[in-house]
Amino acid sequence: MADAFIALVTGASSGIGEATARRLAREPGARLVLVARREQRLKALADELGSATVVALDLTQPDSPQRLLNHVQSEHGQLHMLVNNAGASWRSTFEEGGWANVAQHMRLNFEAPVRLTEALLPLLRETARQQADKTRPISIVNVASTSARVSRPNAGGYSASKYAFAGWSDALYAEERPHGVHVGLVLPGFVSTDGFPATEIRARAATRWMLSTPEKVAEAIVDAGPGGKAERYVPRPYWLAAAARLLAPAVVRRATGGGLFTTSTPGRT
Ligand SMILES: NC(=O)c1ccc[n+]([C@@H]2O[C@H](COP(=O)([O-])OP(=O)(O)OC[C@H]3O[C@@H](n4cnc5c(N)ncnc54)[C@H](OP(=O)(O)O)[C@@H]3O)[C@@H](O)[C@H]2O)c1
Q: Is 188 in the pocket of ligand 1 (CB under 6 A)?
A: yes
Domain assignment present for residue 262? The answer is no
> Which helix (H) or strand (E) element contains residue 251?
helix 249-257
**pTM summary value:** 0.95
CATH number of the structural domain spanning residue 238: 3.40.50.720
- Which strand ranges, in their side-by-side order, compose the sheet holding 30-36? 52-56, 30-36, 5-10, 81-84, 138-143, 181-188, 231-234
The answer to whether residue 158 is catalytic is yes
- DSSP letters along 208-246, please? HTTEE-HHHHHHHHHHHTTT--SEEEESGGGHHHHHHHH
Cα(161)–Cα(198) distance, rounded to whole angstroms?
19
The residue range of the domain holding 188 is 5-257
Domain assignment present for residue 263? The answer is no
Mutate to test the pocket of ligand 1, among 8, 9, 10, 16 (most ligand atoms within 8 A of CB): 16
Q: Ligand 1: which atom is nearest the Cα of residue 88?
A: 47
Domain assignment present for residue 110? The answer is yes
Residue nearest atom 2 of ligand 1, based on CA coordinates = 191
Q: Is 194 in the pocket of ligand 1 (CB under 6 A)?
A: yes
pLDDT tens-digit map of 76-117? 999 999 999 999 999 999 999 999 999 999 999 999 999 999
pLDDT tens-digit map of 17-26? 999 999 999 9
Predicted confidence (pLDDT) at residue 269 exceeds the cutoff of 50:
no
